[in-house]
Amino acid sequence: MRELICTENITLDGVIDASEGWFAPAGGDDEVDRSDMEAALREQREAADALLMGRVTFEQMRGYWPQQTNDTTGISDYLNAVSKYVVSSTLEDPKWDRTSVLEGPLSEEVEALKSEAGGDIVTTGSVRLVTDLIATGLVDEYRLFVYPIVLGRGRRLFADATDVPELRLEESRAFRSGVVLLRYRPSSA
């Protein structure tokens, strides 16, 4: 059975909403060596063959990544090649190859994806979708890339989550940039 991996870029105070400009998808400051973090992201891409997103995140990514012709991280090539699933009741034509729109009940759609053969299913960004996924109990692992910044405002990953099972730490990895990867799994898994 495939696993659903929730990967989020997150601030120290739990904000995953990137609208404040704290997160740069292409790496940000060119003076900082991010090769170790890029290697961790590459590991994740190699284990995953599906990406699950909400409509807003999907449209933002579709508007950015396909145009990145000088991307040295491999993210653009990966996103163009991977199977993408968008949860939306309004999107009709995704206009990005290898994209399917999921319109049915979320838990049924995700259970169906998880039951198919293949690699990991990764979801990232998509604040509303991730909140709903947490509530369904279908998240098998949380991979949190914690950035050393405090915003004091913004949408938080677990702001409204009341049914999150106890989590156990699987890995913590510090990167030269000051970002730390924390991998958690539900204790019952």
pLDDT tens digits, residue range 75-133? 888 999 999 999 999 998 999 999 999 988 999 999 999 999 999 999 998 989 998 99
The pTM for the full model equals 0.91
Rounded CA gap, 127 and 107, in Å? 16
Which tokens sit at 187?
């204790």
Sequence spans of domains, the chain = 4-22+30-186
Q: pLDDT per residue over 49-61, tens digit each?
A: 999 999 999 999 9
pLDDT (mean) for 138-160: 91
Which tokens sit at 28?
């940000």
Question: 143-175: string of b/e by CB count within 10 Å (b at 16+)?
Answer: bbbbbeeeeeebbbbeeeeeeeeebeeeeeeeb
Position 58 scores a pLDDT of 95
What percentage of the chain exceeds 70 in pLDDT?
Answer: 96
Check residues 47 and 189 and name the one with the higher pLDDT.
47
Say which residues have a Cβ less than 8 Å from residue 67's Cβ, sequence separation at least 6. none
Q: Which fold has domain 4-22+30-186?
A: Dihydrofolate Reductase, subunit A (3.40.430)
